[in-house]
């Protein structure tokens, strides 16, 4: 079998990646954001001001199913700490979640950039 080399690399500014279970989010049918109608991934992207995916300070990625399936919550995995998964209940305060994860909101100059 011939070895293949990776020829192309794509850079990102991520300090970490947050993996959000899409199946849990779908079962909740929202539950986050100001009106409680956004998925956790979308609400986190808004919380961190993510507009340009690769250039954002944090990556929020929805994955198929993580297999935990909590009731009334969404499973979240921080890539910096893959041994501890978090169950985020519907309506949770995202500022507190960001603080718990050790992540800060982006500077105002980043939020206004498009």
Spatial separation of the C-alpha atoms in residues 48 and 57, rounded to whole Å: 8
Give CA angle at 40 (62, 55), nearest 5°: 60
Question: What phi and psi, each to the nearest 5 degrees, are found at residue 21?
Answer: -70, 120
Give the tens place of pLDDT for each residue, 88-107.
999 999 999 999 998 876 55
pLDDT per residue over 19-50, tens digit each? 999 999 999 988 898 888 899 999 999 988 88
> Tell me, which fold does domain 16-112 have in CATH?
Glutaredoxin (3.40.30)
pTM of the model: 0.81
Q: Are strands 16-21 and 58-63 parallel, antiparallel or unpaired?
A: parallel
Q: Is there a contact between 88 and 97 (Cβ–Cβ < 8 Å)?
A: yes
């Amino acid at each position: 079998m011939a070895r293949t080399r990776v020829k192309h690399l794509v850079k990102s500014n991520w300090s970490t990646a947050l993996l959000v279970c899409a199946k849990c989010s779908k079962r909740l049918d929202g539950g986050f954001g100001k009106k409680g109608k956004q998925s956790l991934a979308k609400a986190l992207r808004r919380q961190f001001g993510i507009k340009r995916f690769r250039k954002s300070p944090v990556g929020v990625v929805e994955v198929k199913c993580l297999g935990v399936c909590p009731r009334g919550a969404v499973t979240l995995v921080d890539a910096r700490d893959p041994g501890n998964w978090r169950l985020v209940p519907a309506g949770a305060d995202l500022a507190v979640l960001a603080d718990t994860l050790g992540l800060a909101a982006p500077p105002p100059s980043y939020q206004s950039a498009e």
